[in-house]
Structure 1
Amino acid sequence: MNHKPEKTLILVNLGGPRNTEEIEVFLTDLFTDPFVFDLPLPEFFRLPLARFIAKKRSPKVQKIYESMGFGGGSPLVSETEKQAKSIEGILNLKTNINWTVKVAMTCGFPHIRDNEFGKPSPDTIYLPLYPQYSRSTVLSTLNHLEKKFNECPVGSGGYVPSFAADPKFHQISARFIFEFFTGLLNPADFLHFPNVSSTLDWKEIDIVFSAHGVPMRLIRKGDRYMQEIESSVKGITEELRHLGFKGTTHISYQSKVGPAKWTEPSSLQMIESLAKEGKQIAVYPISFVSDHLETLEEIGEQFKDLALETGAKSFTRIPAFGVYSPFIEYLAEKVLSVDKSIHHCVCKEMGGESLTSCRFK
């Protein structure tokens, strides 16, 4: 009897608490990660400080999650699981391989350090769900895997690199935005699907591409995240022009935490400035592929309230991809084309730092 070969794909995301009880654990994982909470402090001081901040922020964060209506937690894990199921179906349909697609998080549960997630190889492939490379996301993921397996996965045949500069990603993103404004998306596929005014001429609006911000300390260390964002927006804007868009696009950064200098301009400043000019504003979450706290609450509520209170003619939140078929098929293609063709240190090139076990040193 012939058996199909088996492969595993692991979708990696930052994570989010699935319920109230997981909030402090999630924040502790987040703030103790040296590539996220990057401070020029010795570990014996940085780690206790990170745990203290996580514990102190938990009550405030709990109230925010409670207001979202997802049982006191974040929908990010469940949304990523939907994406995993969709990709699994495509991979099994397109190949003569028995694919299993799992979900792992670098903060919270299910955690990437759990035993069920095996060593990166051509049969166990890791796909970080971050379009743009950053030390705080992709390099953090690679660091977790290196600590677990004593080997950096880049070049192992089990790692799918970020895709911010890929023209096909730009085309899919522009098509998604176009289909959103022209009523071609299925609202049932999305959380809290936004309404688009029937009087809105999407071709003339201002689109703000809002990315998750990072501390400038990371950029000074060689993180090319801002360049990755700019590459994405440039390519998507060009594709939108082909679809008839005549308005203006902007780049901004959201979700700043703490007093340190972060990437700018801030989305709050950008929204307020455009609103005071009476603009019709739409915000697209350029660095997110599924809806969660930052898209639903921060963009959908905080940004919306600010825009309308300060004079915007209209405000529209464009959702994240979720299980949008062309995007899911694109990810499946990236998985099927993964091989050992990477022959240089992506971490050094894109993040300014090689990991200890880099095979290209």
Structure 2
Amino acid sequence: MNLGGPRDSDEVFPFLHRLFADPDIIPLPMQKHIAPWIARRRTPKIIDQYNKIGGGSPIRRWTERQGELMSALLDKLSPATAPHKAYIGFRYAAPLTEDAIQTMLADGVTRAVAFTQYPQYSCSTTGSSLNELWRRTTELDSEQRIRWSVIDRWGTHPGLIEAFSQNILTKLASYPKDRRDSVVILYSAHSLPMSVVNRGDPYPPEVAATVDAVTKRLAQDGVRNPYRLVWQSQVGPSAWLGPQTNDAIHGLATQGHQDQLLVPIAFTSDHIETLFELDLEYGEEAKKAGVTGLKRVESLNDSPVFVRALADLVRDHLAEAKPVSAQWLLRCPGCKNDTCAQTRRFFGKECVSVPLP
């Protein structure tokens, strides 16, 4: 499960419409009516951005490759549960969640793992995807032919931390040796509206936990560079979690920090937020600020270390035989969304060790 992205200009408006119509990710007043207006207004700008990175999002290609490599490795690591097959259920672009379910039913699937590709949990990302999975499952599989379990978060998994760390070490090595230790590492993650944060969304501390784990892993190789956790992709005038990545780049530049290394710490593959926002948009802003040493760590994509982490996660999850985690069963303290409650009851119905909300 992931957000997805338009493959060409024709898919940009439908993608944006689904995105802005989803109250789990961007809560708006009169959302049903205002979402198409916002989508139409932003479509030309977003098409231009996609044209600058090749005309469409590569997220489907990377997700397909990750799934194929993971499944092949799983067949070797866990022959008792083989064969394994990865199905893609994107939230806002094809193949959508309902496409995945229909294909799985046609293939005769009876056991499935809903595996979020957002390592750190947020109601706006994993939560929204699971809510949609519940809605579409009750609609398309009322007989519950498919038995589900959920991998809802894995931001501190050792394999993920190792994959991030190896990519950071590789990029740090590209700086001159006499400047390498002073490079400021900026861990950049997608921001959230403060209204979502304030109702108790666990995403900010989970991203911070990933950063902390990576920092400790880098220290094992003697890397103790200064760092900050920053946030990107704010949309609209309302308050969002900060500091914004772009503002951090400018602020550090005024303090004399010319060498800055961007790390996409909450994304598992390249897409518009890495290829356009980090590479092109922030790269141009850095030049204006006089930053001469801005670089970006490679995304995980098809890193063998990362693929092994995916396979290990699924293998261990299947062996544990728990449908959901105790953490996922706990709703945000300020949650008033009944869909969240119904989703947890549905996917957690087999979990007898943790009381349902």
Return the TM-score normalized by structure 1: 0.84
Q: Which residue of 1 aligns with 2:223?
A: 245
Query: 1:59 & 1:75 partners in 2: Cα distance?
Result: 19
Contact 1:277 1:311 in 2 (8 A): no
1:334 positional shift = 0.8
Q: Which residue of 2 aligns with 1:148?
A: 136
Return the TM-score normalized by structure 2: 0.85
Cα gap change, 1:288 to 1:343, in 2 (>3 Å): closer
**CA deviation profile, 1:1-54 (whole Å, cap 9, x unmatched):** xxxxxxxxxxx1101001111011111111111201213x3xxx3111011111
Cα gap change, 1:237 to 1:350, in 2 (>3 Å): farther
2:328 to 326, 339, 346: 346
Query: 2:63 & 2:322 partners in 1: Cα distance?
Result: 26
Query: 2:332 & 2:217 partners in 1: Cα distance?
Result: 25
Cα gap change, 1:346 to 1:302, in 2 (>3 Å): same
Cα gap change, 1:32 to 1:289, in 2 (>3 Å): same
1:129 aligns with 2:103: no
Q: Which residue of 1 aligns with 2:5?
A: 16
1:64 aligns with 2:43: no
Contact 1:105 1:111 in 2 (8 A): yes
**Letter paired with 1:179:** T
Q: Which residue of 1 aligns with 2:348?
A: none
User: Which is further off, 94-103 or 262-271?
Assistant: 94-103
Query: 1:299 & 1:281 partners in 2: Cα distance?
Result: 12
1:301 to 265, 272, 280: 280
Q: Percent identity?
A: 28
1:118 positional shift = 5.1
**CA deviation profile, 1:117-161 (whole Å, cap 9, x unmatched):** 459x9821121100111111010011001111249x9xx652112
Equivalent positions of 1:329-340 (< 5 A) are 329-338=308-317, 339-340=321-322
1:346 positional shift = 1.1
Equivalent positions of 1:178-197 (< 5 A) are 178-182=169-173, 196-197=174-175
**CA deviation profile, 1:286-315 (whole Å, cap 9, x unmatched):** 110101111111111121222232122411
Contact 2:167 2:297 in 1 (8 A): no
1:351 positional shift = 8.0
SS of residue matched to 2:163: helix
**Letter paired with 1:356:** Q
Q: Which residue of 1 aligns with 2:103?
A: 116
Q: Which residue of 2 aligns with 1:4?
A: none
Query: 2:298 & 2:287 partners in 1: Cα distance?
Result: 19
Query: 2:155 & 2:175 partners in 1: Cα distance?
Result: 30
1:318 aligns with 2:306: no
SS of residue matched to 2:131: helix
Residue correspondences, number:
327
1:342 positional shift = 3.7
Contact 1:278 1:313 in 2 (8 A): no
> Is the helix fraction higher in 1 or 2?
2
1:174 to 165, 172, 183: 165
Query: 1:289 & 1:176 partners in 2: Cα distance?
Result: 12
Query: 1:85 & 1:201 partners in 2: Cα distance?
Result: 40
1:263 aligns with 2:241: yes
